[in-house]
């Protein structure tokens, strides 16, 4: 027992030491006062010594050594448990916000993109173009999605070098990537893609510099009603494998990729009922409806296609069928039918033609 007390006085924790040394000092003071009271004949000093001795006794009985040691151990365990909770390897689930950040929360990414785009101005954009050595003949486009690089609804600058298509996208930061031209086999039409105008392209609904710069390239939305429910669609164009751009970006993209064919994979283009003259004009009508070419540009293409049809190696019956099909699908109007039917008859009645 005495060994334990002495050891605790010198090796215990701070509270244990204070407790034991306080009792020791109180006891020592009580004994000293009693000795001096007897030696000097001072009864009041003796009563004070008795009071200190009683206080020392009561204090010593209030808490045991074992209790103090137990508290010390409990505190150590508590600190250890706290350390394990703060340890990154702890299995205790973290807060939802931390998990979302680590997992790349789409909402956090969108907020970061919105902040970055809002921070850009004319001076900073010029600096970016200079840093990435963007050529003067670049164009602006809006990328609706690019799964390979996890891009969604981001503005971009595009330009072409001898064998590469370069794209500088503005997401949470400026990021450039290249695609070999030989890998771009065509530009494809993607019709009636589901859309939500209220949620899409949120950073471009404000009056920032970038919003004004790229607002002409936002997609056009089309309203559909099905059994009383309203939904929205948009038309996109796919460049190469999986870069989807808005319909309003297609004109710029075609200007830097003039030799890449525009292709449509639908029931009309797959049908054997229509010849290549019909399908060619059908493709141009799609481009006109999506503002890739102007109405005047489309009318010029009508004349080019019909002029080619006049001298095509087909029978009169095939010519009439093609003209009627074009009119039925509203690729040409009745004036075109009348005009070119007369031209066709004039050509066929020329001397030397059968």
Q: Give pLDDT, residue 158.
A: 96
Cα(67)–Cα(135) distance, rounded to whole angstroms? 80
pLDDT tens figures, 250-278: 999 999 999 999 999 899 999 999 999 99
Per the DSSP assignment, residues forming a β-bridge with 245 are 143, 237
| Higher per-residue confidence, 353 vs 305 | 305
Among 68-72, 205-209, 218-222, the range with the most confident prediction by mean pLDDT is: 218-222
Residue recorded with tokens 């963007």 = 134
Q: Give pLDDT, residue 347.
A: 83
| Higher per-residue confidence, 78 vs 108 | 108
Q: Give pLDDT, residue 228.
A: 83
316-325 — which CB contacts under 8 Å span 24+ positions? Answer: 316/344, 316/348, 318/275, 319/344, 322/274, 322/275, 322/277, 322/278, 325/273, 325/274, 325/278
Per the DSSP assignment, residues forming a β-bridge with 179 are 165
Torsion over CA: 54, 55, 59, 62 (sign):
positive
Cα 212 from chain centre = 21
pLDDT band (50, 70, 90) for residue 67: low
Phi, psi at residue 176, to the nearest 5°? -105, 140
Cα(30)–Cα(46) distance, rounded to whole angstroms? 9
Residue 3 has pLDDT above 80, yes or no: no
Residue 145 has pLDDT above 60, yes or no: yes
pTM exceeding the 0.75 threshold for the entire prediction: no
> Percentage of the chain surpassing pLDDT 70?
77
Mean pLDDT, the chain, integer: 83
pLDDT band (50, 70, 90) for residue 90: very low
Angle, alpha carbons 63-66-70 (nearest 5°)? 105
Q: Give pLDDT, residue 95.
A: 46
| Higher per-residue confidence, 142 vs 41 | 142
**Which residues, at least 6 apart from 112, have a Cβ–Cβ distance to it below 8 Å?**
172
Cα(87)–Cα(82) distance, rounded to whole angstroms? 9
Cα(157)–Cα(142) distance, rounded to whole angstroms? 9
Q: Where are the domains of the chain?
A: 2-82, 106-252, 264-354
Q: How far is CA 197 from CA 194, 211, 212, 222, in A?
A: 10, 15, 17, 10
pLDDT band (50, 70, 90) for residue 81: very low
Residue pair 140/212 in contact by the 8 Å Cβ criterion: no
Residue 98 has pLDDT above 60, yes or no: no
DSSP state of 138: -
Residue 21 has pLDDT above 80, yes or no: no
- Give the DSSP letter string of 212-263: HHHGGGSPPEEEEEETTEEEEEEEEEEETTTEEEEGGGHHHHHHH-TTSPEE
pLDDT tens figures, 168-213: 999 888 999 999 999 999 999 999 999 999 999 999 988 899 999 9
The closest of 152, 127, 161 to 244, measured between CA atoms, is 152
Least confident of 110-114, 270-274, 304-308: 110-114
Cα(69)–Cα(4) distance, rounded to whole angstroms? 12
Q: Is 277 helix (H, G, I), strand (E, B) or coil?
A: helix
Cα(270)–Cα(265) distance, rounded to whole angstroms? 7
Residue 64 has pLDDT above 80, yes or no: no
Residue 73 has pLDDT above 60, yes or no: no
* Three-state secondary structure of 288-316: HHCCCCCHHHHHHHHHHHHHHHHCCCCCH
Stretch 96-102: mean pLDDT: 44
pLDDT band (50, 70, 90) for residue 12: low
């Amino acid at each position: 027992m005495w060994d334990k007390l002495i050891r605790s006085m010198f090796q215990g924790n701070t509270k244990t030491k204070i407790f034991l040394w306080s009792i020791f000092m109180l006891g020592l003071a009580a004994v000293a006062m009693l000795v001096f009271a007897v030696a000097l004949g001072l009864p009041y000093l003796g009563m004070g010594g008795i009071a200190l001795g009683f206080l020392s006794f009561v204090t010593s009985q209030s808490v045991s050594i074992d209790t103090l040691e137990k508290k010390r151990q409990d505190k150590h365990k508590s600190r250890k448990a706290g350390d394990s909770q703060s340890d990154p390897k702890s299995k205790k689930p973290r807060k939802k916000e931390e998990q979302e950040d680590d997992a790349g929360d789409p909402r956090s990414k969108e907020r970061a993109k919105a902040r970055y785009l809002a921070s850009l101005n004319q001076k900073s954009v010029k600096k970016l173009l200079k840093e990435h050595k963007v050529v003067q003949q670049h164009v602006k486009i809006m990328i609706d999605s690019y799964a390979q690089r996890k891009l969604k609804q981001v503005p971009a600058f595009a330009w072409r070098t001898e064998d590469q298509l370069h794209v500088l996208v503005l997401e949470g930061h400026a990021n450039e990537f290249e695609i070999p031209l030989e890998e771009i086999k065509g530009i494809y039409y993607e019709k009636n893609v589901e859309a939500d105008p209220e949620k899409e392209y949120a950073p471009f609904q404000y009056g920032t510099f970038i919003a004004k710069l790229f607002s002409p390239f936002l997609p056009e939305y089309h309203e559909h009603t099905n059994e009383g429910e309203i939904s929205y669609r948009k038309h996109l164009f796919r460049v190469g494998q999986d870069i989807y751009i808005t319909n309003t970006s297609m004109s710029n993209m075609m200007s830097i990729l003039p030799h890449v064919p525009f292709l449509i994979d639908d029931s009309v283009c797959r049908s054997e009922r229509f010849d290549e003259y019909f399908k060619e004009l059908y493709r141009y009508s799609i481009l006109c409806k999506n503002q890739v070419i102007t109405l005047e540009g489309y009318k010029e293409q009508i004349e080019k296609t019909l002029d080619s049809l006049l001298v095509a190696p087909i029978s009169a019956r095939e010519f009439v069928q093609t003209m009627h099909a074009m009119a039925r699908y509203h690729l040409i109007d009745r004036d075109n039918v009348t005009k070119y039917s007369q031209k066709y008859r004039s050509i066929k009645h020329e001397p030397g033609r059968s």
